[in-house]
Structure 1
Amino acid sequence: MSQIAFKFRQIAQRMWFLPAAFSLAAVMTLLVAFGMARLIPDSLPFTLSSEAVESILTVLASSLLTVAVFALSTIVSALSSASSQTSPRAVPLIVGDRRAQTSISVFIGAFLFSVVGIIGLSAGIYSEAGRLLLFVVTLAVVVLVVAALIRWIGQMSAIGRVAETVSRAGEAAEKAFRTVPGKGLLGCRELAGEPSGHPVFSRKTGYVQHIDIGRLQDHAEDNDLLITITSRPGAYAAPDRPLVLVAGSVDEALAEKLAGAFTVGSARTFDSDPRFGLIVLSEIAGKALSPGFNDPGTAIAVVSTLVRVLTERPDEDSELKYERVLVAPLSANDLMADAFRPIARDGAGSIEVMLRMIAGLKTLARCRPELESAAKGMIKDAVERGTAAMSAKSDKAALKAAGTIE
């Protein structure tokens, strides 16, 4: 994905984008109806009064604003609930929920359509043919609003709930792993050994959100360079931390261009950062295991989601797209630490959580050979933490028996 496409995608995921797009579409629909009316002769076999259309539009205008405000208040409550009960890092997943955005957008767009339609009828700009077309479009808008209301009723029962947030975090992690499959080489050459070269540092402080690797490849071809990415998406970037190491001649202007291929923001994103999805899931489990919540069932559900995401992770895309760009593969130890170490720490005293996590780690060791060593290491760590935290001898014995590695 190019940098422009990534930034547009970020804009499209914001809460205001779809309502603005639907509002624009509503106004354009009225303009199109007004223009098409000129193509239809005014001498129609029947006529439709302005009052008939205006009454329907008035009902829509008077009710939909209230419905839109109620829907937005529901979203705000869901965001607050998700932040307090799961993890603040999961809030963007709710904000970017297309189904909720679409419902609210229909309400706001239909409200604006009604207001503009009433203004047009009051000004007398519609002919008999125009009023007929406006009536047909109004009926279509009513159908859309009813469908959106029915869909919204179903969404209100799930949005902001812990189980729904866990599901969305799992989907975000799965999507990121599809974007960065297998070893996570991003279409580049795999780095073997220690990286070397002239460092190019970040111009901003924050987190790497996206890398335009195509731009790096172009610069490498134009200047006969070999570029090693040292800060992949999700890495912390600062003026003293290199983004890339370059083998070849690099002046200040070229260094500025190479640094410009990195999008650095204040927070991590899910798009190309699968580790972030694992971290958010483990944070939800940690919150559930805190004394204030004491909800081991949610932690067990998170463990199941983590095991599923890592087990079904896509294999490596063998296509080499950027032969002049090198990157280190994703570390299996890092993936295990991001996903399970916080749960092993916070759930060390819960035998149910520890047994479920060890069972999941054994599944990963058997099903994913590249994770076998790291999963077995995490099992040993979990047994050690659990043995130190548990007081009942029976729990310790069950934990040690479950942690036995064949």
Structure 2
Amino acid sequence: MQPSDLVLAVFLALFLLHWALETALDGLNLVHVLRVTPRIPPELAAQVTPGQQRRAAAYAAARLRLGLVRRTVLAGAVLALLLSGVLPAWEAALAGWGLEPPHRGVGLLVSIFVALGIAGLPFSLIATFGIERRFGFNRSTFPRWLGDRLKGLALSAALGLPLLYAVLWFMGAAGAAWWLWVFALVTAVQLVLAWLYPALIAPLFNRFTPLPEGTLRSRLEALAHAAGFRTRGLFVMDASRRSGHSNAYFFGLLRPRIVLFDTLLAQLDAEQIAAVLAHEIGHFRLRHVLQRVALSSVSLGLLLYALSWLIAWPPVFQAFGFAASSPHAALALAMLCGEAFTFWLGPLGAAWSRRHEYAADAYAAALLGDGAPMREALVRLNTENLAHLQPHPWYGAWHHSHPTLLQRLAALRAPSTVPGGRPA
């Protein structure tokens, strides 16, 4: 067996294993969701009606079914791009038109983005105007949906194309240490974007208005002050123009802005909103944000370092029909093949994220001096957003970045979650 044949065999084995595992987990969860639907957990019998339980199960089942089809279609699209010879043929065509390597590389990579985007487009439409509308969440119109996609494409082109040219230049001109230069470049760009996002990027898609003066604002400002949390302000986002889903988040690294969806304000009372804010403050004060940024940076560095070794091994390129190695072919293969080799990291990241959620819940209970508002907020958020209460344990362990509602409620009632004032 030639080295290139071995590379291809290993890739196909891992790719198909990943597809089969994800498909099996989706199918297992689908059967489980439909089977447990009639049984409302005793802890929630007074707060969840049979009708809400059935709707949540139907919503979960519809999304799972669509996900099963989407995964298979996109897996087929990836295999077609990799195994049909279309990528080396397209690269040769671009070279035949007289394009120099940087332009040829960008043309190849943009073509892959476009092809995969087209393959996934029908599923985005079905999810938004089929499933989300059927269950009362979608409030967007097709022109608004299309406008968001076009703005996203324009933004990706304006930011991504110069970055892509710079990455390809470093890969070709910086020698064996190119990965260090690319790592520094991408990290710097990410930091700049995090700084620019609140003022320049986010307002392209939503309106952000200061939370009006009043009881709620005073309560939230007092809560932030009690936690020693410095913020650039409290803002309301007009999420209801597009969706009925509710959420809250921070953006910014040093003095973040607090963003509350207007749907959240409509669904929760003041003390429940304070609990949601306390949970988010917990992530910040417990340094979860910095930990995630650090992990992302380390992961990026390791992946670039691995790519720097693979780019020097011709069998990797020969396995997929490329006559020779090149920076753009390396990026193309990393884009299409990378998940087959790294998918097993997903559950590890999800488990780590769930630990952070438990810790932030406990922080919120301690900051408020009472775990009841956090429990009430979690129940309300889950029911309003039709989160299924009892996913299959294997599915949750593999995919979910948050514990289930029942797990979070149990943790908040546990003796180790000691309310009683400001956390240390």
Structure 1 length-normalised TM:
0.23
Which structure exhibits the higher relative contact order, with contacts defined as CA atoms closer than 8 Å and separated by 6 or more residues? 2
Q: Greater share of strand residues, 1 or 2?
A: 1
Q: Greater share of helix residues, 1 or 2?
A: 2
Structure 2 length-normalised TM:
0.23
